Structure 1
Amino acid sequence: MSEATSDYGRGIDAEQALKYAIQHVAGERAEIIEGVITQVSPSWPHERTANKIRRQISPRCLELGYEIGSGNLDLPGSPNWYIPDLAVVPDDLVEDSNSLLPDQTLLVVEVTSPSNAETDRVVKRRRYAEYGAPLYLLVDRQERSTTLFSEPGPLGYTRVEGPHPFGTPLPLPAPFDLVLETGEL
């Protein structure tokens, strides 16, 4: 083996290389879930569900100076790079940031699709808790239910509200202090 070949790969951070590639090379919006690159291409019913939530929380977020979007969330030290369906973050964090950390969010919302429901129910719930996202709202279109997870820790969320069938009003705690109407989701 030549010296050049034996040095190949030394000093390269595989996690950073993978996350760089997903942002700059893939060309499409994509996530990394437990090391697997997954294209993000939501359907119109999926988008409609996310937008119904966005419309309900937008007035309160505007009042509080929060942004709602689906920007990148990095989970450093892991092979994960998520694009949530919605995330609420303080306005001052979005100016110069290519990605944020889950603990910088105020609320993360994932809407299930047939192709990713188990990922949203299990993997993302565990990782969002591990990385300190204070509120994780799972809108499960297949089960027609909503579940709000709070009080994150390294072993998961310690507080769970739900699952509640669609149509059951779902209170969002401070700083939101509002009730989501879920009948039209």
Structure 2
Amino acid sequence: MTSAPADYSSDVDPERALKYALQHIRGDRAEIIEGVIEPVSPTWDHEAAAEAIRDQIRPRASELDCVTGSGNLDLPGSSNWYVPDLAVVPRAAARGAGALLPDQTLLVVEVTSESNAETDRIVKRRRYAEYGAPLYLLIDRQERSVTLFSEPGRLGYTRADGPHPYGAVVHLPAPFVLDLDTGVLDGG
């Protein structure tokens, strides 16, 4: 029987080790969804949908002294590390942060792809609520709909506004107090 090297520690935290390794992958970005490493490689249509929402939110985010982006979100105590399509976070929280927690965001936006639609609809919706993201906007490209989830709790969001078809106006509550034109998601 071979013994472990002298510098091997049995105190290694597997969650921390996995998340550390993920952050040091060269090249493409990746996320961990329920313990499975998934590459983040959106199509241009996917990016266009996220950008259409970002363009509408950006002026209000700036007024709130927030930044918009797709930085890393850690879900400590779980084997999850997400890269949302868009998040709005206070500028002060974003400074120097390698990753934030969902409850440090004001809004998280996910845009479905054929390869991840069920993950965004079910898994991420549940996890974002569990970890306190106050607002979760789901842009469902396959269903051509938009749903805003709010009032997070341990068992999920307790309020859903939608699904609304593309073209509907979706109201983002405080602190945004902003109406999103989802017609832009349809190329309109």
Letter in 1 for 2:180: L
Corresponding position of 1:174: 174
Corresponding position of 2:99: 99
1:4 shift after superposition: 2.5
Percentage of matched positions with identical amino acids: 69
Question: Structure 2 matches for 1:123-142, cutoff 5 A?
Answer: 123-142=123-142
Instruction: Extract unaligned runs of 5+ from structure 2.
Output: none
1:63 shift after superposition: 1.1
- Secondary structure of the 1:158 match is strand
Mapped to 2, the partners of 1:5 and 1:59 lie a distance apart of 55
Letter in 2 for 1:17: A
Corresponding position of 1:67: 67
Please give the per-residue CA displacement for 1:47-68, whole angstroms capped at 9, x wherever unaligned: 0000000000111111111100
Mapped to 2, the partners of 1:77 and 1:27 lie a distance apart of 27
Corresponding position of 1:160: 160
RMSD in angstroms over aligned alpha carbons? 1.4
Letter in 2 for 1:121: R
Please give the per-residue CA displacement for 1:5-37, whole angstroms capped at 9, x wherever unaligned: 699561111001100111003532000000000
The alignment's TM-score, normalised by the length of structure 2, stands at: 0.95
Are 2:33 and 1:33 equivalent residues in the alignment?
yes
- Secondary structure of the 2:157 match is coil
Instruction: Extract unaligned runs of 5+ from structure 1.
Output: none
Are 2:9 and 1:15 equivalent residues in the alignment?
no
Q: Which runs of 4+ in 1 moved over 4 A?
A: 5-9
1:179 shift after superposition: 0.2
Mapped to 2, the partners of 1:27 and 1:44 lie a distance apart of 18
